[in-house]
Amino acid sequence: LVDAIELIDEQLSEDVTVILAGTGPEYERIETDVGTRGLQHRIHLVGHLDQLALSEVYASASIGVLPGTPSYTSPTKLLEYASHGLAIVAPDCAGVRDLFTNAKNALLVDPEVAELADALLRLQDQDTCDALADNGSQLAASWTWRRVVETTLRFLVEAHCNATPRFKRRRP
């Protein structure tokens, strides 16, 4: 994400601010990287936020970005973004595509800096941003925890039924 912001920094309007919330093993490296690149005016690392503070960040935001993820992931964080009315930029991978559709309720991108940067620039168009956010909100409203559990169980049953047995049962 830092690479993408550096690439398009001069093309972004002055009021665009990137808030990086959370901590992890890369936090200090990212913090140093932002400073070294002179992007402190654009990117703010806020560390761990409690739920109230995170809700305030969501309320002030218009875009939620998940810049990279393993090849398959549960899109729970993206549903959280969508439920707060944010337009979404996410990796184009199996777990995300299970729920989100490119250019309908999210912008799904390959994990390349240029593609992420292009998606962020596309969302400077307010109509595009609003349409993705509205469609994402509708999707999020339809995904209750009950539905998540039912879908997961259905997936597991289908996977089990389609699996090739590895061992033969011994009959006593």
Nearest-CA neighbor of 95 among 115, 66, 118, 122?
A: 66
Closest residue by Cα to residue 17 from 125, 103, 120:
120
Rounded to the nearest integer, the mean pLDDT of the chain is 91
pTM: 0.85
Could you read off the pLDDT of 70-93 as tens digits, one per residue? 666 678 899 999 999 999 999 998
Half-sphere exposure (CA, 13 Å, Cβ side) for 19? 19
Q: Which residues pair with 65 in a beta bridge?
A: 89
